[in-house]
Structure formats: C-alpha cells, structure tokens
C-alpha cells in the first residue's frame, strides 16, 4: 500500500495488490496516509509459495481486475 500510494503521489498511475488476509491492514494504511479510496485488487491468500501453477492461475484470473482498476 505504501509503495503504491507513494508512486501515485509522484504522478504515476498505481494500484495495490493485496491478499485477503491483509485487506484490513490495507484499509488502515490507506486511511492513515490520507488516501482511503486508493485503488486495490484483492488476491486470494496466500499467493507466494503456493506453486507456479497456482500463481499462474491467480495471475490469469486477476489480470482483468487489475486492468479495470487502472481504467477506473
């Protein structure tokens, strides 16, 4: 969240990819940094260490949502 918000504040379009387990923490960080509506896409948890096949499936499933978030 912090990196995405810092990137956006520098004029570069950004979104955050946040797993469901960390979504509440993302709310807190976005609010505390004054950007409560910062765009995010929720990923299943965990992604890391879940295997190449699973990570590829998540990437394929989430790509349209990520593109939508940039278009919003």
Q: Cβ neighbours of residue 33 under 8 Å, at least 6 residues apart?
A: 1, 2, 5
Omega prior to 46 cis, within 30 of 0: yes
Q: What is the pTM of this model?
A: 0.86
At 23 the pLDDT is 97
Domain count, the chain: 1
- What residues make up the domain containing 27? 2-71
More confident residue, 49 or 16: 16
What pLDDT shows up at residue 48?
A: 87
């Amino acid at each position: 969240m912090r990196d995405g918000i810092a990137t956006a504040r520098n004029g570069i379009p950004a979104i955050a990819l946040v797993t469901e387990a960390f979504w509440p923490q993302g709310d807190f960080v976005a609010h505390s940094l004054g950007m409560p509506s910062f765009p995010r896409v929720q990923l299943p948890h965990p992604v890391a260490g879940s295997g190449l096949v699973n990570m590829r499936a998540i990437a394929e499933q989430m790509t349209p949502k990520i593109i939508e978030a940039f278009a919003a």
